[in-house]
Amino acid sequence: MSMARAVAIDLGASSGRVIIVTLEDGRLSLETVHRFENRPLATGDGLMWDLSRLTEEIDRGLAQIDFQQSDSISVDTWGVDYVLVDDHDRVMSQPFCYRDSRTEGCCEKAGKHIPLEELYRITGTQVLEMNTIFQLMSEKGKSGCMMFIPDYLLFHLSGQKKTEISIASTSALMDIRSRCWSEKLRAIAGIQRFSFLPVIQSGTVLGPYLKDSRVSIIAGCSHDTQAATSMLGDNLFISCGTWSLMGAVADNPVTSPQSMEEGFTNECTLGGRISYMKNLTGLWILQCLKDEWHSSFQQMESEALQAEPLRAFIDTDDPSFSKPDGMEEKIRDYLVRTDQEVPVTRGGLVRIVNESLAMKYRNTRDSIERLTGRHFTEIHIVGGGSRSEMLCSCTACALGIPVVAGPAEATAYGNALIQFLARGVIRDIEQGHSLISALGEIRRTEPECTALWDEAYGRYLDVTDQRRKDK
């Protein structure tokens, strides 16, 4: 009987978890040891993360584990945010949250020094005001060493200061081809006063855990999206939670003007490859409806199954849906504004949201195929959205290809499998993919009624004005 364990510290923008993933006799299992809230704090300086509390909660979770010889630990978090430390490795201030408003206008400011098209060509990163480059431009009177949040947490555990490549590639500061920091961009942005750490590959063993030398600390894919999708193979993927990250793994970045215009980003992932993807709205609208109605996803989906299909559509990325309040009314307003039938039941609204998400996925799939010259025959959905049989069925029908759904905990499993790969417990990414595929929760959904969905897709493009947006 063979057994190996890895501890995945998974931090999202609303919660954090310490999870033990066990591989025993060719089977993966998962146990959540500690769960805690993680929300930005509104302070006099801006919207900040409580870094000291994060480290305390992580330490509290790790203290509950009876570590064994050859165990390991890794960390994944959201992208772009960072910590500044001084020459004595002391944190200079709490890290800003990417939602803080101090970066407003920075894209325009940077565009006076370098065309944003060139910025995209160098970095492959979607140009957004929350990018690290614009955050650093907004720092007033500060200097120091810039460490992304997972880099700092790994330093807290190991004493080693490095930057893992997947998290570095979220910054709009790394040359996506050389995989090095772009000195040109640092000079243009006026941020030479900040020092950057050496960039290391995903799956690098940093050293022993400072509190237990039997345990190794590993820099896996520190960006949670890449941890979630690193072991899914070469087909299309959607990592679906509040947001949907949709894309595919490729050998080379795509940095054409059309790719930039359509909002795609290139990130480094396991094995030196590129994750080419787009950030879309995911379960956000449904989450808002659930809270507004004091309902559950199961009840909402049950009611939606009773509603008539393919009656109306919304653009799930429309700015009117970005704020949480009054979501039902916003959907009804959108339908009236676009001269569509307004359902009389809540189930009808839920069906519209699910079908519209699926149509958005189809539109994005078409863009990925056009921009990369590839053709995909399957799509893998992971994260919380993989639990929804309705969303998976709608996606299969809209795209006309099978959907492989699960696991919901893809980030934790991916985090752990990268550790197993670094330790030689598994031999390659393909074996990791096989272990994911063998999980009992994995479901396969085949497309049905594709002719009806093809006809409806034309109506979706018209009412969402997507034909014009795609030109």
Closest CA to 350 of 396, 403, 295, 387: 295
Token output for 318: 């429309």
Give backbone dihedrals phi and psi of 213, rounded to 5 degrees, phi first: -70, -10
Amino acid identity for residue 170 in this structure: T
DSSP E strand stretches across 368-412: 379-382, 403-405
118 forms beta bridges with: none
Q: What is the DSSP letter of 133?
A: H
| Gap between the Cα atoms of 123 and 267, Å rounded | 9
- Do residues 246 and 236 touch, judged by C-beta distance below 8 A? yes
Strand-strand pairing, 174-175 and 180-181: antiparallel
| Tokens at 138, concatenated | 């907004």
Q: 240-254 b/e with 16+ CB inside 10 Å = b?
A: bbbbbbbbbbbeebb
Bridge partners (DSSP) listed for residue 205: 218
Which position among 224, 251, 315, 339 bears the catalytic label? 224
d(CA 113, CA 119): 10
Residues in the chain: 471
Contact 295, 289 (CB under 8 A): yes
CA distance 433 to 327: 38
Q: Which residue has the tokens 């078409």?
A: 366
CA angle 367, 173, 201 (to 5 degrees): 85
Helix (H) or strand (E) holding 276, with range, is strand 274-281
Q: How many CB atoms lie within 10 A of CB 423?
A: 17
Q: What is the dihedral of CA 78, 41, 96, 273, to 10 degrees?
A: 0
Alpha-carbon dihedral angle through residues 340, 346, 350, 352, given to the nearest 10 degrees: -10
Q: Is 454 a catalytic residue?
A: no
Spatial separation of the C-alpha atoms in residues 111 and 434, rounded to whole Å: 45
- Name the residue among 122, 125, 137, 138 with its Cα closest to residue 182: 122
> Is the torsion defined by CA of 193, 194, 198, 200 positive or negative?
negative
Catalytic residues: 224
